[in-house]
Amino acid sequence: MAETTNFGNTLGWGKTPLLLVIDVTRAFTEPDRPLGSECGTLISNVNRVIAAARQSGTPIMYTRVAYDEPDLSDAGLWARKIGQLGDLCVGGTGIDIDPRLDFEPGHDPVLTKKYASCFFGTDLTSRLNAAGIDTLVIVGLSTSGCVRATAVDAIQLGFRPIVVEQAVGDRWQEAHDQTLADLRAKYADLDTLDAVETKFRSLASADGRAA
């Protein structure tokens, strides 16, 4: 196969970003759960991005996967393919935002979804358009699943996806690494944690907020 040297152009940030914190919920962040893995370092890094976004006045949205039907009929064929989705049913603790995350109940919006992409079957596009958002800064779980699916849909729908390398994670390191390479080549910009913090500080300065 030919070399892909022409891939991976940089999109850059637009004028109005939103920080999208994807599925940092107990079902995925507690290792003793069926879908869980160790996420302590990831959560610390996500909290750094959240803090920088708050300081800059950038809006933040959190997401979760949650199913209303005990038989997972609202999960469709995905429940059959993946299995182990019972921990994501409404009424259980698996759908709760991890308590280690900087999340303000009653203040921070939470988007509930049933599939990988934050756009599929939700009103996210309408919310972003109404707020004039043109850039999605993406953190959370999992790199090869919901992060990837959301980034692909974002660019297809006209939003600039910025994936924060040290603030996304996966239960499989190989899948994480390969997905980041694929996203960089075709679907999203990959920014480092330090670079994103610096960008948010510049937005805070431009807005007259304390740096």
- Cα 23 to Cα 46, 118, 140, 146: the distances in Å are 12, 10, 6, 8
Where is 82: in which H helix or E strand? helix 76-82
Task: In whole angstroms, give the CA distance from residue 126 to residue 128.
Answer: 5
Task: In whole angstroms, give the CA distance from residue 22 to residue 139.
Answer: 6
Task: In whole angstroms, give the CA distance from residue 177 to residue 141.
Answer: 14
Task: In whole angstroms, give the CA distance from residue 169 to residue 167.
Answer: 7
Catalytic residue flag (residue 146): yes
Catalytic site residue from 39, 89, 118, 146: 146
Q: Which residues are catalytic?
A: 146
